[in-house]
Amino acid sequence: MQNKGLVILFAILFGAVSIYQLSFSFKNNAVENQANEYALSKADASAKDYKEQVSILEANYLDSLSQSKENLFLGNTYSEVKDNSMKLGLDLKGGLNVILQVSVKDILKGLANNTTDPTFGKALLRTDELQKDSQNTYLEDFYVAFDELKGDKKLASPDIFATKSLYPEISINTSEDDVKAVLDRKVDESIVSALEVLRTRIDQFGVSSPNIQRLGTSGRILVELPGVKDVERATELITSTAQLEFWDAYKGQEFIGFIYQANEILKGKGASEETAETAQDSTVVKTEEEKAIEALTGSKDETVTEENPLVDLVKGPGYQGGPVVAMFSQSDSRKVLELLNSTEVRASLPAEYKDVIFAFGKPKADTDLVELYALKGNREGVPQLSGAVIDDARQEYNQINQPVVTMQMNPKGAKIWEEMTDNAAKTGGEIAIVLDNVVYSAPGLRNGKISGGRSEISGSFTLNEASDLANVLRAGKLPAKAEMIQSDVVGPSLGQEAIDSGTMSFIIALVLVLLWMALYYGKAGLYADIAMLFNILLIFGILSGIGAVLTLPGIAGIVLTIGMSVDANVLIFERIREELDKGKDRASAIKDGFNNALSSILDANITTGLTALILFLFGTGPIKGFATTLLIGIATSLFTAIFITRLFIDKSSVKGGKLDFTTAITKSWFRNINIEFLKKRKIAYIISGVLILGSVVSLFTNGLDQGVDFVGGRTYKVRFANPVSAAKVSSELSQPDVFGSAVAKTVGDNNDLNITTKYKIDDTSQETDEEIRSTLFTALKPYLNGLTYEQFIDNSNENKQVGIMEQYKVAPSIADDIKKASFWAVLGSLVVVFLYILFRFKRWQFSLGAVAAVFHDVLIVLGVFSITHKFMPFSMEVDQAFIAAILTVIGYSLNDTVVVFDRIREYFNEFTGMPFSNVIDKSLSSTLSRTLNTSLTTLVVLLAIFIFGGESIQGFMFALIVGVIVGTYSSLFIATPIMFDTVKSGSAAESLRKKEEVIDETVVK
């Protein structure tokens, strides 16, 4: 090998840089452990808010280090150390992963100044319909819908987008195309603004190594928060629009009579015309108030029946003279608002109350009660003062040492605030401070007007709540509602289990491969082992250096890379053995062996790399992590196998050491094989035909167990203290008064269940998430051994062993997108590989054989999953991870097939007088040692991961195991025979021989 000095130099540099990069991870872990120990030592273990204290102390410890400019490690500050350390994914560290859909519909409404134009409204409704089966963005479908319905209407109409706020960019004379260009830009700016608002909020929240990025042009934003423990708090932080408003509030007692009147209307009795006409008469009102007060305080009166739609929901009265109308249960709040805002009820409001806005207050700690307020609205629906005037917000403490949020307004806001508070002080009224339609406080102004623009929000805050509220107010409001259309929550204890199981599988797989190489190839195998260990160092070093996130599938990708990287060494060693068998001296055999193996190594790794690249482009989250490590592993494996192994072998050869590339045990293995494969192809066709037929029949009858990735829904991994019956739990959860339909499956141990339901899947709000968790807890209570609801849903406990361990939600809209993207990923990989093989081998017959084998392998893997998913003791859901497995199977199958095709091409030109069928049989026989060696090694690795890698990736590994077995078989009995049958024999084969191009010598060199 030429340029050995250069190779050694690069190897030393790459190794040193990798060690340098990984050192940051070790230092960062040590600092985080110190922070945790400090927090545990300072927190009051007997306090009720012990966990919150630990969290805050730990965050403060790390924040102080982050703000420090002192060098902590190798000339780097702590912030630089953290940025350069290895980032662990959600499944290894626990935390929150969500995809947010910024509402382009809300953005358009805002740009049109919330117009009530009927054409605009119908266009939005039509757009919602189009989006259900569309791959277009919301804006693109809006243009289509508007064009369908507009008639003579224009986008640049004064009552749509030709508004003052958009002038002069849009006027009544602006063309439709120009309006669309402006809207495209405005919507894009709003989404970018949402991205930056979220980034600012999360940066101030103090999450370690967050990932916030925009996904395409659809208005979707990916937020990954590994390590976050208070998931509910983080969710509130990223979904809150922070729409701060200041409204004047009515006295609660003004609406007591209305509550009773609304109750009567809802009962179906209605008020008589006479009652309506005299509703303003003080005597009548007083009588109604008396009746209502009796109902509100729980007194039994003949006017109060047991079926009062509204009054029966009241849990307590408001405060005398205050702004609270009444108190209700938090779980009934949505229903109460629906009743009060119904057409019939609002029609009964007196003229001066027609624009009233009903809103609930912030829930108080340790109670389910929430207060109902009546705010003084207006026709425009615009508050007297909005949060846009806030210049700064801080978390502070009031006179009684309770956390509050203080705000400072700009001059314009300060003037309006002074007028509002002055008027409220004179009239004895209150001003409601409303954030995202929730009343946080409604203070009375007993000390007169407030000058200077300084105000305060109080509301029984915890320290974290006050801090987060100040955070979102400083960062600004989101330009539109951000809805969670996909979320994945993993508890820290489950993440630690994943680390333990992933590490175990990694070590076991590595040891098995190292032992096998040493056993099979002797001293040369030990050299390959050293190169493999160096390869692992490079992979982790590069992952750390580029800031990639390490996930459990990523670890699987690394371990799989180890198994597949053996292939390059096996190809080289087998070719060297062949050259030695021909009688060549050792130096010549080594040189020719490396040169002859190079073509196969490159072709095999390029085809696998192409499928990994497609997986990287189409995948998200953990699947992208798998593709990243696979791509890096392919590159480093090529470097270490071709150059590092060569260094050791050449050095040993120069010193005269005996290097036989075998051992006494394996010396005679797979030698002098001469199998007539083609004569067995008809039997193989029959076997494959039966397997494919069975697979197709099962796919049409049994179908596949499609995961929520593809159909939408919510999945909860629930761990119980004792084994439970999945069938019994499924039946109980499917009752009409629970979810109506739910499926529970045992995963791993008998006390672990995956529970999936599509109940209210179209409603992805946090309120519905909470409702489903609460319903799930109630239904499972008999199996939870006294577990409280808080313990059941707690995501902060690192030692949690019972309750919800992980929760996953996918909205139908994104599920459809995932399904279509997966289809195109698989199809795209087949097309790309077909074209690559056509380019390399110059004949379509080779491409046809390879792609036919891949179709064969994919159908059989799908069939196995279809047939066995009902009784396997682990999850066999078809989801994004399964698609990753399918693409990996495609790459592996092609890897095998390309190696065989390379040998056929070589022998085709070497044995010119040999019949075509004999050339093929000889090629298959000569590569059999490599095929079986690589396949067995890879299977050993996959089995190690399957057994020890944790149940979360068992289905993924099972698909790969089936794929490797079937792929090995198809490369021998499907791909090559189909290629042969399409070429046929005689003149066609001879023509192929004459036109076959020999590998370019420059490539070999």
pLDDT over 90 at 354, yes or no: no
pLDDT over 90 at 875, yes or no: no
pLDDT over 50 at 283, yes or no: no
Instruction: Tell me which of 637 and 885 has the higher pLDDT.
Output: 637
Tokens of 359: 């809103």
Instruction: Tell me which of 668 and 643 has the higher pLDDT.
Output: 643
Instruction: Tell me which of 905 and 816 has the higher pLDDT.
Output: 905
Q: Return d(Cα 449, Cα 422) in angstroms, integer.
A: 4
Q: Return d(Cα 37, Cα 32) in angstroms, integer.
A: 9
Name the pLDDT band for 799 (thresholds 50, 70, 90): low
Q: Region of 950 please: left (phi>0), alpha (psi -120 to 50) or beta.
A: left
What's the average model confidence in pLDDT over 316-321? 77
What's the average model confidence in pLDDT over 586-595? 83
Q: Which of 43-47, 214-218, 312-316 has the largest mean confidence?
A: 312-316
- Report CA-CA distances (Å) from 258 to 288, 311, 355, 377, 802: 9, 11, 14, 17, 48
pLDDT at 691: 93
pLDDT over 60 at 289, yes or no: no
pLDDT over 90 at 675, yes or no: no
Name the pLDDT band for 358 (thresholds 50, 70, 90): very high
- Tokens 């690394």, residue located: 558
Residue 86, C-beta contacts closer than 8 angstroms, at least 6 positions apart: 22, 24, 25, 540, 543, 544, 550
pLDDT over 90 at 619, yes or no: no
Q: Return d(Cα 747, Cα 331) in angstroms, integer.
A: 33
User: Strand, helix or coil at 279?
Assistant: coil
**What letter represents residue 816's amino acid?**
D
Are 702 and 871 spatial neighbours (Cβ–Cβ below 8 Å)? no
**What letter represents residue 437's amino acid?**
N
**What letter represents residue 734's amino acid?**
S
Query: 404-423: per-residue pLDDT in tens?
Result: 888 888 888 888 888 888 88
Q: What is the mean pLDDT of the chain?
A: 79
pLDDT over 70 at 296, yes or no: no
Domain ranges of the chain: 4-85, 99-168+177-239, 244-477, 491-665+675-701+817-1004, 713-810
Lowest mean pLDDT among 85-99, 166-180, 270-284, 857-871: 270-284
User: Strand, helix or coil at 378?
Assistant: coil
Name the pLDDT band for 274 (thresholds 50, 70, 90): very low
CATH of segment(s) 491-665+675-701+817-1004? 1.20.1640.10
Q: What are residue 756's phi and psi, to 5 degrees? A: -120, 135
With CA atoms as reference, report the closest residue to 822 among 861, 760, 880. Answer: 880
Query: 932-971: per-residue pLDDT in tens?
Result: 887 888 888 788 878 877 666 788 788 888 988 998 888 8
Q: What is the DSSP letter of 915?
A: -
pLDDT at 622: 63
Taking the CA atoms of residue 495, residue 501, residue 503 and residue 509 in that order, the dihedral angle to the nearest 10 degrees is -150
With CA atoms as reference, report the closest residue to 36 among 49, 22, 24, 51. Answer: 51
- b/e 347-375 (16+ beta carbons within 10 angstroms → b): ebbeeebeebbbbbbbbeeeeeebbbbbb
Lowest mean pLDDT among 116-125, 206-215, 250-259: 206-215
H or E stretch covering 732: helix 726-733
H or E stretch covering 555: helix 552-581
Count how many residues are written for the chain: 1005
Q: What are residue 566's phi and psi, to 5 degrees? A: -60, -30
Name the pLDDT band for 445 (thresholds 50, 70, 90): low
Tokens of 199: 């980034």
CATH of segment(s) 244-477? 3.30.1360.200
pLDDT over 70 at 621, yes or no: no
**What letter represents residue 798's amino acid?**
E
Domains 244-477 and 713-810 share a fold: no
pLDDT at 984: 59
The CATH class of 713-810 is alpha beta
pLDDT over 70 at 299, yes or no: no
Q: Which of 61-75, 408-422, 797-811 has the largest mean confidence?
A: 408-422
Residue 151: CB atoms within 10 A of its CB come to 7
Tokens of 337: 């608002």
What's the average model confidence in pLDDT over 757-774? 81
Q: Region of 74 please: left (phi>0), alpha (psi -120 to 50) or beta.
A: left
Q: Return d(Cα 510, Cα 941) in angstroms, integer.
A: 8
- Report CA-CA distances (Å) from 535 to 2, 397, 600, 634, 714: 21, 56, 20, 10, 40
pLDDT at 697: 93
pLDDT over 70 at 517, yes or no: yes
Are 942 and 957 spatial neighbours (Cβ–Cβ below 8 Å)? yes
pLDDT at 298: 46
- Report CA-CA distances (Å) from 207 to 30, 202, 939: 17, 7, 39
Instruction: Tell me which of 378 and 891 has the higher pLDDT.
Output: 378
How are beta strands 752-757 and 742-746 bridged, if at all? antiparallel
Please state at what angle helix 523-545 crosses helix 492-521, rounded to 10 degrees: 150
Tokens of 516: 């096998």
**What letter represents residue 16's amino acid?**
A
With CA atoms as reference, report the closest residue to 917 among 977, 866, 867. Answer: 977
Give percent helix, percent strand, percent coil of the chain, each to the nearest 5: 60, 10, 25
Lowest mean pLDDT among 49-53, 339-343, 730-734, 961-965: 49-53
pLDDT at 315: 86
With CA atoms as reference, report the closest residue to 110 among 257, 243, 223, 273. Answer: 243
H or E stretch covering 320: none
Q: Return d(Cα 239, Cα 481) in angstroms, integer.
A: 8
pLDDT over 60 at 304, yes or no: no
Full 3-state SS string of 641-679: HHHHHHHHHHHHHHCCCCCCCCCCCCCCCCCCCCCCCHH
Q: Return d(Cα 182, Cα 176) in angstroms, integer.
A: 10
H or E stretch covering 849: helix 844-868
Q: Which of 306-315, 794-803, 954-963 has the largest mean confidence?
A: 954-963
* pLDDT > 70 fraction of the chain, expressed in percent and rounded: 86
Query: 820-859: per-residue pLDDT in tens?
Result: 777 777 777 778 877 887 887 777 888 888 888 888 998 9
Residue 496, C-beta contacts closer than 8 angstroms, at least 6 positions apart: 94, 798
pLDDT over 50 at 244, yes or no: yes
Q: Return d(Cα 62, Cα 263) in angstroms, integer.
A: 55
Query: 165-175: per-residue pLDDT in tens?
Result: 788 888 888 88
Instruction: Tell me which of 216 and 721 has the higher pLDDT.
Output: 721
Q: Return d(Cα 679, Cα 687) in angstroms, integer.
A: 14
User: Strand, helix or coil at 212?
Assistant: strand
pLDDT at 384: 83
Q: Return d(Cα 191, Cα 352) in angstroms, integer.
A: 39
Strand partners, 101: 220, 483
Q: Return d(Cα 628, Cα 623) in angstroms, integer.
A: 9
What's the average model confidence in pLDDT over 920-935? 83
Are 358 and 340 spatial neighbours (Cβ–Cβ below 8 Å)? yes
Name the pLDDT band for 690 (thresholds 50, 70, 90): very high
Q: Return d(Cα 715, Cα 734) in angstroms, integer.
A: 14
H or E stretch covering 310: none
Query: HSE (CB half, 13 Å, CA atoms) of 228?
Result: 27
Name the pLDDT band for 290 (thresholds 50, 70, 90): low
Lowest mean pLDDT among 120-129, 504-513, 666-675: 666-675
Lowest mean pLDDT among 220-234, 359-373, 511-525: 220-234
pLDDT at 814: 67
Are 119 and 142 spatial neighbours (Cβ–Cβ below 8 Å)? no
Name the pLDDT band for 492 (thresholds 50, 70, 90): low
Q: What is the DSSP letter of 973?
A: I
